[in-house]
């Protein structure tokens, strides 16, 4: 799935979100800072959203 996370702005944001999702057991994580998107394997959008929002970011 692909989620829009507009408040990612730099490599630190990218690393934080990648690590949080990896720690939560997700694979194939791709963060695109230019497009402000997070792509990850899986179908439970609410669960992925919770992981990202726990780090202080906002998923649209």
In the complex, the residues that contact Cu ion under the rule CB under 5 A are 9-10, 12-13
How many CB atoms sit inside 10 A of residue 40's CB? Answer: 22
Least distance between Cu ion and beta carbon 12 (Å) = 4
Question: At 19, phi and psi to the nearest 5?
Answer: -65, -40
Q: Which is nearer to Cu ion, 25 or 56 (CB)?
A: 56
Q: Which is nearer to Cu ion, 13 or 40 (CB)?
A: 13
Q: Which is nearer to Cu ion, 10 or 28 (CB)?
A: 10
Sheet holding 30-32, edge to edge: 2-4, 37-39, 30-32
């Amino acid at each position: 799935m692909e989620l829009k996370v507009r408040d990612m702005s730099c490599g630190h944001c990218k690393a934080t979100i990648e690590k949080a999702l990896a720690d939560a057991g997700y694979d194939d994580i791709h963060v695109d800072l230019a497009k402000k998107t997070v792509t990850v394997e899986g179908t439970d959008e609410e669960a992925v959203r919770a992981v990202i929002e726990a780090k202080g970011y906002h998923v649209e």
